[in-house]
Amino acid sequence: MILPGGTLGILGGGQLGRMLCLEARRLGYRTVVWSGSEVAEPTQGVADEVILKPFSDAEAQAYFVEQVDVATVEFENIDHDVLRAVDAAVGIHPRPEAVAICQNREREKLFLQGKGIPCAPFRVIETAADLAAGVTELGGKGVLKTAAFGYDGKGQIRVHEGMDWEMVWADFDFPRAVLEKWIPFECEISVMVARGADGAMEVYDVAENVHREHVLDYSIVPARVDAQVVAQAQELAKKLAEGLEYRGIMGVEFFVSESEGLIVNEMAPRPHNSGHHTMDACETSQFEQQLRAVVGLSLGSSRLFCPVVMLNLLGDMWRGEGLFEKLALQENATWHLYGKTSSKGLRKCGHANFLGEQALENALALKNAVLGES
């Protein structure tokens, strides 16, 4: 157990690292962020120290492990050798093997398959011929995804019979991919599950997620799904945490399909965008839970205080009309900003949590007012 006064190391300098730094400071821990790049806007000014060096820099790695008592990750696309080296020096949670499974869709699908956990039927693709055969075998249409380095809809395209597979594969331009069967689904949900150093677990209420151009737009908690679906999703999330020998907080995304039932879409070995509602609506936020698990404290309660909607403040809202003037007039809304200087596209610049029975109505009214939609 590492007590307040100790130092938490964080690999990655994005908004998840920022919010973890703020939680660590509240609870009396120092933070050292190793950004992995020359920029780390969200964590600069909130971490005690930021190392603006690539993860390939051996001197940065040596310095980082000298400064911290234990480490964690705020995003998963980090070379496995770096994770193992940090783990050997100070310990890293979740463990490198768990991150390696979640950071690669092929390994993730094989893990799910091996544990008997429902996921979309898939094929591993290395050539245009593999792709042509796979689409036929999976019913004529699917989603082609990069094996690694995909997020927010990046690195994936929908495919169907009749396409020019040589051209599709050449344009995709990745050496290895996963082709998933196209699953018609009613909605997408997610569950945050935490597993502590002692193996104890806390599972949060299920979130119903609505996306816009593959980017999470808003989350509704509790999700508007049957109680049986909620219970199954929570149990599957706990089964995954056990199977991964996990330590920390993890997000598990599901499709709810009338034809296929509940299937796992992806796992995130870190705090997750759809868990941001916990910052204002739960007894223990996902960031405090992550900190507790990593430093070896007992987990906190995941109890939900009231209905909540988390609305992402995406780039177009950021550039919209009177965002903060309108937010300031909301009685039951709290916002969290990420310290970013650019709002291009649908970049995630912050989020707002709307509390109470009218949360969804209020969140959508604000969004529409800012974007000038009816």
pLDDT for residue 342: 87
Q: Is the pTM of this model over 0.85?
A: yes
Domains 7-92 and 187-371 fall in the same CATH topology: no
Q: What is the pLDDT of residues 47-105, one digit of tens each?
A: 999 999 999 999 999 999 999 999 999 999 999 999 999 999 999 999 999 999 999 99
Q: Which tokens is 357 given?
A: 């029975």
330 annotated among ligand-binding-site residues: no
80 annotated among ligand-binding-site residues: no
345 annotated among ligand-binding-site residues: no
Q: What is the pLDDT of residues 265-316, one digit of tens each?
A: 999 999 999 999 999 999 999 999 999 999 999 999 999 999 999 999 999 9
92 annotated among ligand-binding-site residues: no
Distances from the Cα of 117 to the Cα of 96, 150, 159, 243, 269, angstroms = 21, 22, 25, 11, 17
154 annotated among ligand-binding-site residues: yes
367 annotated among ligand-binding-site residues: no
Q: Identity (one letter) of the amino acid at 368?
A: N
Give the CATH class of 7-92: alpha beta
% of the chain at pLDDT higher than 70: 98
155 annotated among ligand-binding-site residues: yes
Q: Any idea where the domains of the chain sit in the sequence? A: 7-92, 121-181, 187-371
C-alpha to C-alpha distance for 26 and 29, rounded to whole angstroms? 8
265 annotated among ligand-binding-site residues: yes
Confidence of residue 6 (pLDDT cuts 50, 70, 90): very high
Residue 59: partners with Cβ closer than 8 Å, 6 or more residues away: 53
153 annotated among ligand-binding-site residues: yes
pLDDT for residue 173: 87
pLDDT for residue 151: 58
238 annotated among ligand-binding-site residues: no
106 annotated among ligand-binding-site residues: no
180 annotated among ligand-binding-site residues: yes
* CATH architecture type of domain 121-181: 2-Layer Sandwich (3.30)
% of the chain at pLDDT higher than 90: 91
User: Which residue, 361, 290, 303, is CA-closest to 31?
Assistant: 290
On whether the 187-371 domain is CATH 3.40.1010.10, my answer is no
266 annotated among ligand-binding-site residues: yes
Is pLDDT at 153 greater than 80 in this prediction?
A: no
Q: Which tokens is 35 given?
A: 């950004």
Contact 209, 190 (CB under 8 A): yes
